[in-house]
Amino acid sequence: MKKKNLISVVGPTGIGKTRLAIDLAKYFSTEIVSCDSRQFFREMKIGTASPSAEELAEAPHHFIGNLSVKDYYSIGQYEEDALKKLNGLFENHDTVILVGGSMMYEKAVIEGLNDLPEADEENQKKLQEIFENGGIEKLQELLKELDPEYFAVVDFHNHRRLLRAIDVIWQTNQKYSELIAVSQDSRDFNTLRIGIEAPREDLYERINRRVDLMMEKGLLEEARSLESFRHLTALNTVGYSELFRYFDGEWDLDFAVSEIKKNSRRYAKRQLTWYRKADDIHYMPLGYTQEDFDRLIGYIVEQIQK
């Protein structure tokens, strides 16, 4: 039987993946599966730049706003749910679109996760103490020393990601980056990865503009409505943690917004580092024309028919 096809649209934050995914979904009359782990949470629409109601109406989307920030949801659960969803979609479609900049979540879908050990209670206690006494900076320093390769791509504002990686390194005496590099399960669908590329200064300018737009749309009010949940993992992220410091009186608003821009640019840089290591991404230019899109379709059809 002919294999089904998954087109994975990847790239750094703010580069236009949503638009390209929708254009592809419309062309192939298919549906979109999100692997953007921040957009899973329905209360965080503005700060995660979730697709608008108009965009959602252009093509069916899955895993957008399907959870509450109060829900615990692991990457392992996502892998299981996403594969189940894909199996269902492939019954009616030869091609499905995957989109998102959460690198490990895309990897979970297209390659599978490695069998990493469960959390070690003693390690977690030690790391929690380090975090409480030295702040997130101490965890960042520790991970950078143990595994500079993973530190280069991890969202280092998310202390749980740091805790998890250090715990696994301590348990296995192996670098986390090496453990997650090995592909596990083979998939019964073909994967084509499509990226969007832009000069770094253009990308950074887009990110800065997008943060300003988020503020205009009500990011401040959204963050305030979530302040009581600030201890939850979902809110340990760019766009919210900076505004919580403004609410605490630690920063003024202009500085908090400038930090959101800076941290978003830093995250984009980490994403670029991750994608640069891949040799299987076919790139589109930023602000692609109809001619560029037609060429992309030609490339996809050619790959599918191989």
Average pLDDT over residues 110-117: 82
pLDDT at 183: 58
Of 45-49, 191-195, 230-234, 250-254, the one with minimum mean pLDDT is: 230-234
Tell whether the model's pLDDT for residue 119 goes beyond 90: no
Q: pLDDT value at position 235?
A: 92
What is the DSSP secondary-structure string of 92-152? T-SEEEEE-S-HHHHHHHHT----PPPPPHHHHHHHHHHHHHHHHHHHHHHHHHH-HHHHT
pLDDT at residue 38 tops 60: yes
Compute the Cα dihedral for 259, 260, 262, 266 and give only its sign: positive
Give me 226's structure tokens.
């979530």
pLDDT at 37 over 90: yes
Is pLDDT of 223 > 80? Answer: yes
pTM reported for the whole predicted model: 0.86
- List CB contacts of 186: < 8 A, sequence separation 6 or more: none
From CA 211, how far away is CA 138, in angstroms rounded? 28
Which CATH architecture best describes the domain 121-179?
A: Orthogonal Bundle (1.10)
Mean pLDDT (whole number) for 213-239: 95
- The pLDDT assigned to 106 comes to 95
Share of the chain above pLDDT 90, in %: 77
Residue 291: band (very low, low, confident or very high) from pLDDT cuts 50, 70, 90: very high
Domain residue limits, the chain: 4-114+182-305, 121-179
Over residues 95-115, mean pLDDT = 91
Phi, psi of 195 (to 5 degrees): -120, 170
Please measure the distance between the N-terminal and C-terminal CA atoms of the chain and give it in whole angstroms.
14
* 113 vs 140: which has the higher pLDDT: 140
Question: Above 80 in pLDDT, residue 215?
Answer: yes
Q: What is the pLDDT of residue 182?
A: 60
Give me the mean pLDDT over the 121-135 stretch.
Answer: 90
Contact indicator for 235, 226 with CB cutoff of 8 Å: yes
Weakest mean pLDDT among 38-47, 183-192, 200-209: 183-192
Place of tokens 């302040």: 227
- The domain 4-114+182-305 having CATH identifier 3.40.50.300: the answer here is yes
- pLDDT band with cut points at 50, 70 and 90 for residue 20: very high
Model confidence band, residue 243 (pLDDT cutoffs 50, 70, 90): very high
Mean pLDDT, to the nearest integer, of 230-253?
A: 95
pLDDT band at 180 (very low <50, low <70, confident <90, very high): confident
pLDDT bin (cut points 50, 70, 90) of residue 177 is confident
